[in-house]
Amino acid sequence: MNSDLTVEIGSLHLKNPLMTASGTCGYGDELEDYFPISRLGAIVSKSLTLKPKKGNEPPRITEVSCGMLNSIGLANIGVQRFISDKLPVLKRLGAEVIVNIAAKRADDYVSLAEIVAGLPEVKGLELNLSCPNVKEGGLEFGSDIAALGRITDLVRRVYPEVLIVKLTPNVARIGEFAKAAEGAGANGVTVANTYVGMAVDIYRRTPKIRSITGGFSGPAIKPLTMAKVFEVHNAVKIPVIASGGVFGWQDAVEYLIAGATAVELGTVLFRIPDASTGILDGIQSYMVREGLESLRELIGSLKANLDRMPHK
């Protein structure tokens, strides 16, 4: 017998907790070469901006131990071309689409949300308030609690469907940011975007990527993001979507136990584009082995005495 893997984020019903992470599978349709994307809980688009963006000058990426740094600079085709060229393909392939948006100004977040609001193919919006690599990425808003609350509120007024705020981990008390998003009406929070990181070429004595610092992702960040997911889970009632270093099914289960309702797959897709297939099988077998009928029994089931935490 199979266990029930469905989850809910606000009114959004997902067939399973696996989503793609923004910017790690093109626009999502490219994944179909490797497996049927209709099997995913949801596809999250690359961060879309009002106008197309070329992105940062190379080199944009470098590998570090068990992870990577990127400074893509939100290179994307712009919201309009996404809607005309990509959305129909994603719909035909049967994908559940969540659109991720990024902007430099509060007004632009609102304009983007208005453009997306009328589209029946789009099931939700993820606000990128956390890109470490460009001014447009919203990090300025994302690391200022009041600004984050204000933008979430403005978007909430024009966007009636499921609204998710993607948080930056580069702050001291991420729980407070999650509370601000919740207070402004977000239906969920994604924890988290990449960490600011850096790597140096010791022979040339130059930074390994052109923007000097970049976003650190991959298995190396998983314990860091695990702690943030747990912190946010304890701070808010809305669902938490974990994003950080998932490679195997065990990583996904670990996040679910720590309080995540869904899990995004990012860097792993560069190496294993069909990773979701193995991870789903792994979660399913684990559930059966552990005698769990529904993911609801697993989510946030960590057995721990919070009083033992040195700083809560």
Q: Between β-strands 213-217 and 195-198, what pairing exists: parallel, antiparallel or unpaired?
A: antiparallel
Give the H/E segment covering residue 33.
none
Give the H/E segment covering residue 205.
none
Tell me the three state secondary structure of residue 191: strand
Report the alpha-carbon distance of residue 241 to residue 273 in Å, rounded. Answer: 20
30 binds other proteins (CB under 8 A): yes
- In the complex, least distance from residue 284 CB atom to other proteins, rounded to whole angstroms: 22
70 binds other proteins (CB under 8 A): yes
**Residue 185 near which of ligand FMN, other proteins, none (CB within 5-8 Å, type-dependent):** none
| CB nearer other proteins, residue 3 or residue 22 | 22
Q: Between β-strands 67-70 and 61-64, what pairing exists: parallel, antiparallel or unpaired?
A: antiparallel
CB 217 within 8 A of CB 87: no
Give me the amino acid identity at 160: P
By CB under 8 A, name the one of 3, 16, 45, 56 that touches other proteins.
56
- In the complex, least distance from residue 119 CB atom to other proteins, rounded to whole angstroms: 24
The token pair at 26 is 């093109």
The token pair at 84 is 């005309």
Taking alpha carbons only, the member of 226, 221, 296 closest to residue 6 is: 296
- In the complex, least distance from residue 245 CB atom to ligand FMN, rounded to whole angstroms: 4
Report the alpha-carbon distance of residue 40 to residue 57 in Å, rounded. Answer: 33
The token pair at 38 is 């209709």
The DSSP 8-state label assigned to residue 195 in this structure reads E
By CB under 6 A, name the one of 31, 171, 229, 246 that touches ligand FMN.
246
By CB under 8 A, name the one of 269, 280, 295, 299 that touches other proteins.
269
Q: How far is CA 215 from the centre of its chain?
A: 13
Contacts (CB under 6 A) with ligand FMN, residues 273-312: none
Binding string, 92-111, against ligand FMN, x = CB under 6 A? --------x-----------
Binding string, 203-232, against other proteins, x = CB under 8 A? ---------------xx-------------
| CB nearer ligand FMN, residue 3 or residue 168 | 168
List residues with catalytic annotation: 131
Q: Between β-strands 12-14 and 7-9, what pairing exists: parallel, antiparallel or unpaired?
A: antiparallel
By CB under 6 A, name the one of 23, 132, 175, 259 that touches ligand FMN.
23
67 binds other proteins (CB under 8 A): yes
Q: Give the residue closest to ligand FMN by C-beta.
A: 23
Report the alpha-carbon distance of residue 132 to residue 56 in Å, rounded. Answer: 12
Enumerate binding residues for ligand FMN (CB under 6 A): 21-24, 46-47, 70, 72, 74, 100, 128, 131, 166, 193-194, 215, 217-218, 221, 243-246, 266-267
Enumerate binding residues for other proteins (CB under 8 A): 23-26, 30, 33-34, 46, 52-63, 65-68, 70, 72-73, 75, 134-135, 218-219, 247, 267, 269-274
